[in-house]
Structure 1
Amino acid sequence: MDPIARERLFGFRHAFDSPVTFWITIAVIAALLIASVIIWYLHARGRTSDKLHDELVKRVVSWAVMTPLLLGPVLLGAAWTILAVAILSVLCYREFARATGFFRYRSLSIVVVLGIIATTFAIADHWYGFFVAIPPLTIVLLAMVAILRDEPRGYTQRVGLGVIGFLLFGYCLGHLGYMANDADFRPIVMLIILTVELNDVFAYIAGKTFGHRKITPQTSPNKTLGGALGALVLTTTLVSTVGHFVFAGSGVDTAVKLIGLGLIVSVAGQFGDLMVSSIKRDIGIKDMGASIPGHGGLLDRFDSMLLVAPAVFHYIAFFRGFGLDQPTRIFTGGG
């Protein structure tokens, strides 16, 4: 293996080479500590009920557990980042398959998982040609395998669920993993994770403060126009500000392009949330799972990332590319 590729994949000694990576890590830890103190203080002063206090504690504890699981792989190296995204993809797909009943079609479910595995290999190999070929190949395989049941009734639904499951949880999320092929992937991936999650927080706070008009009452009754606009302004400002340091000296580092990046993160994040809400309303459930106390399932927590990852990937790639100076086809040796 090329020494440059080995260092990017497994080298953790350069985890904090970028000041942005260091300060994002410090900011996240500080935010958790400050939130814990505020929750304790409000409860001690009688400002929160026992029920609300317990709910807030659950959320903070969940974030305290998720934070090292999210940031740890990024700091350890590209290989761990790619593996973490692959595991997240499989777990999110599992929740989707169980919620929709798609898990009953085992042969099709196996095809989806194989597609996720193939996507992960293409990412780790830094083989972009294979990466873009996997979706049509997986769809072709789903269409063929579904015929073998010899059950024309429900064929469209079975194939459609399989295609949606793979594209959203295998391929869309896979774009986040592919960013790890860039030499400066750590601050980029951390910026996306941080701002996507804060976009939800901004929408919630702005909605509680200014929100009156519902935008999609049938899909997500708590979503308001004030919350959406507040998140749009705050997230765009945050992405533009931090992004200036992340992309300093690159083709992305102009005011207009950074604002565009911020708008994409906020808009795609909110639509990702609404998309999963639409799926849940369609099948008549409140949460996709119960694996994260105070949040629901993994898919309930990371739904905003589904549309952000591919949109941001191709936006940034258009102006500066990803991993253009890195060895390609690391394992297959065709680069």
Structure 2
Amino acid sequence: MRQRVITAVVALALFIPIIYVGGIAIEVTAAVLAVVAVYELFRMKELNIVSFEGIISAIGAVLLVLPKERWFFFLPANVDTFSLFYLTVLLLLGAAVISKNMYTIDEAGFPVLVSLYAGMGFRDFVSARSESLIILFFGLLIVWATDIGAYMVGRQYGKNKLWPEISPNKTVEGAIGGIVSAVIVAAIYVLIFQGKQDFGHSISLVLIFTVIFSVVGQFGDLVESAVKRHFGVKDSGNILPGHGGILDRFDSLLFVFPIMHLFGIF
């Protein structure tokens, strides 16, 4: 526990200033985190990221994360970075021809899915910060409040297993506690900042969406647990002592921010 707390404090001390500054700092950080997430998924599958498909997958994730306006301004006005990402898909598919079908479409599917999963999640994380610091922290607080509420309520009152085949420690009571915690925190936050930030919807609708975001965040956690269980690993990595890997810390975020964007919060 002590190691977890120390790691969390150090990580926040580094992370919060980057979030506050935004711009190039958060874009580069998100791109690096996306590459690390790609590496962790390749590592779980016992594939080498320093390979054709590994490098292409990492490049694909970076292309999705970095905004066109700053990094790819030279592209025609009607072309976005997703078009560049699709070139990586074509390259992976083309490998089947070059390798004379030694590399197949089934094998190409994994690096494409990996780069989409990591790239789109961190892309919308950056997009939220581009909208405003208030919006970014709104999403982060929902994720953090859900995690803390689920842990505390689950530990104290948890009896009914939520999904034991995937994550045996999670309980229904904990999941509900996470949702309630997220709604309470979101309500306080929106009431404080509603005069400074347009959340795109009425307060009541934002709180209804918060329930959805909290559920989505917990589902994202379960998805990562399912991936780890499939590959037979305890943690996605060991870059964060006491916490595991980047995916272990950002799994909920990678689901929540794309859904926030889909619901028009930013």
- TM (norm. structure 2) is 0.87
Structure 2 contact 35–61 (Cα < 8 Å) conserved: yes
The equivalent residue for 2:152 is 205
Instruction: Please state whether the residue corresponding to 1:215 is helix, strand or coil.
Output: strand
Matched, 1:101 2:51: no
* Structure 1 counterpart of 2:8: 63
C-alpha distance 207-124 of structure 1, shift in aligned 2 (>3 A):
farther
| Aligned equivalent of 2:124 | 175
2:111 matches 1:162: yes
**What letter is aligned with 1:144?**
G
Assess if the C-alpha contact under 8 Å between 2:63 and 2:85 holds in 1.
Answer: no
Deviations 1:12-66 (A, max 9, x none): xxxxxxxxxxxxxxxxxxxxxxxxxxxxxxxxxxxxxxxxxxxx21111011111
**279-288 or 237-246, which moves further after superposition?**
237-246
Amino acid at match of 2:202: T
Kindly indicate whether residue 224 of structure 2 is the aligned counterpart of residue 276 of structure 1.
yes
Q: Distance in 2 between matches of 1:119 and 1:88?
A: 13
Q: Distance in 2 between matches of 1:57 and 1:142?
A: 44
**2:262 is aligned with 1:314:** yes
- Distance, in Å, in 1 between the alignment partners of 2:100 and 2:50 is 13
Alignment gaps of 5+ in structure 1: 1-55, 323-335
What residue number does 2:172 align with? 225
Number of equivalences: 260
Q: Residues 94, 124 of structure 1: CA spacing in aligned structure 2 closer, same or farther, 3 A cutoff? A: farther
Which residue of 1 is the match for residue 32 of structure 2? 87
Determine the C-alpha separation between the residues in 2 that align with 1:305 and 1:84: 15
Instruction: Pick closer, same or farther for the CA change 1:144–1:247 going to 2, 3 Å.
Output: farther
Deviation at 1:72, TM superposition (A): 1.2
Give the equivalent residue in structure 2 for 1:39: none
Matched residues in 2 for 1:145 and 1:260: separation?
Answer: 46
Give the conservation status (yes or no) of the 8 Å contact 2:56–2:88. yes
Report the alpha carbon displacement of residue 271 of structure 1 after superposing the two structures with TM. 0.7
Q: 1:1-335, aligned counterparts within 5 Å?
A: 56-103=1-48, 106-123=51-68, 125=70, 130-152=80-102, 155-182=104-131, 185-248=132-195, 250=198, 252-317=200-265, 322=266
SS of 2:26 mapped into structure 1: helix
The question of whether the paired residues in 1 share the 8 Å contact of 2:153 and 2:174 is answered with yes
Q: Give the 3 Å change call, closer, same or farther, for CA 215–121 of structure 1 in structure 2.
A: closer
| Structure showing greater Rg | 1
Deviation at residue 241 of structure 1 after TM alignment: 2.4
Separation in 1, partners of 2:45, 2:14: 27
Distance 1:78 1:148, change over 3 A: same
Q: Secondary structure at the match of 1:245?
A: helix
Query: Gapped runs of 5+ residues in structure 2?
Result: none
Distance in 2 of aligned mates of 1:292 and 1:67: 12
More displaced stretch, 142-151 vs 234-243: 142-151
Distance in 2 (CA, whole Å) between partners of 1:244 and 1:143 is 50
Percent identity between the aligned chains?
27
In 1, Cα distance between equivalents of 2:49 and 2:30: 25
Q: Using the alignment, how far apart are the partners of 1:223 and 1:138 within structure 2?
A: 37
Structure 1 SS opposite 2:263: helix
Q: Is the 8 A contact 1:237 1:262 kept in 2?
A: no
CA-based RMSD: 2.4
The 3 A distance-change label for structure 1 pair 264 and 247 is farther
C-alpha distance in structure 1 between counterparts of 2:199 and 2:137, whole Å: 19
Q: In 2, are the aligned partners of 1:243 and 1:253 still within 8 Å (CA)?
A: no
Deviation at 1:132, TM superposition (A): 4.3
What letter matches 1:150 in structure 2? K
**How far 1:137 sits from its partner (Å)?**
4.1
Q: Which residue type is aligned with residue 194 of structure 1?
A: L
